Amino acid sequence: MKIPKWAVPVIAALAAGFFVGGATAKDSSLFGQTVAAWIQAIGSIGAIYWASRMARRQRAHEIEMRRQVAEKEDARMRMAARAAGVLTCQRLQSLSEELRESAKQSWDVAAMRRTIEVTKTTIRQFRSMDLPTDRAILIFDAFPGALAHAEDYLDLHLEMLKAGNGPVATSKNSAAAVDGLRALALERLANLEQELGLVAASG
């Protein structure tokens, strides 16, 4: 066990006092009392030292545990933000595919709209303000916006069909518009991953 530097002079002083006290004691009982007093003093100092050392270790352990918890929470938040971007791109791709097929076969428009609405609502519940940079916040907040635009395109698609526009051309144009949203969402997803350090920066 390594003895701290401050303890050396203290121990030396205690030892000197012990021997001086023992040498000047007039009888054995007084010497015994002196020995007991010095032993008690040494024990008290040792107890104080070890208590202080254990307290420092405990504080260091608590700080390390808090650091680990914070790192895990930060990693979870970054992965959740990425997952929201991936989900946005998947929903836009599904909508584009459904629009293209709508000219050939019927499809459940209401179900698709509900899916987009639920996805948008879920993403908006994410606390984007907790992301580490302002740029990451701006990028993330574009995902629910893209889904809102997709809902608008879907409504416009249905209105055009009701107005008597050709289903093939309407489906093609609507799908192309959603594809444009998806391309932007994919670009934002790549930017978000880079901003959050989830992929290595190129170049």
- pLDDT tens readout for residues 26-43: 555 655 676 677 677 777
- Summarised one tens digit per residue, pLDDT across range 64-85 is 899 899 899 999 999 999 999 9
The CA-atom distances, in angstroms, between 192 and each of 35, 126, 198 are 72, 15, 8
Rg (CA), the chain: 36
| Three-state secondary-structure class, residue 4 | coil
> What predicted TM-score, i.e. pTM, was given to this entire model?
0.70
Q: How many residues does the chain have?
A: 203
Q: How far is it, in rounded angstroms, from Cα 143 to Cα 117?
A: 12
106 or 10: which leads in pLDDT: 106
Could you tell me if 169 and 90 are in contact, meaning their C-beta atoms sit under 8 angstroms apart?
no
pLDDT in tens, 88-119: 999 999 999 988 887 777 778 888 889 999 99
The count of C-alpha atoms lying within 13 angstroms of the C-alpha of 185, restricted to the half-sphere facing its C-beta, is 26
Q: Where are the domains of the chain?
A: 7-58, 71-195
Query: Whose structure tokens read 């395109």?
Result: 153
Instruction: Give the CATH fold of the 71-195 domain.
Output: Four Helix Bundle (Hemerythrin (Met), subunit A) (1.20.120)
The amino acid sitting at 179 is D
Counting runs of H as helices and runs of E as strands, what totals does the chain give? 5, 0
Return d(Cα 46, Cα 39) in angstroms, integer: 10
Contact 150, 92 (CB under 8 A): yes
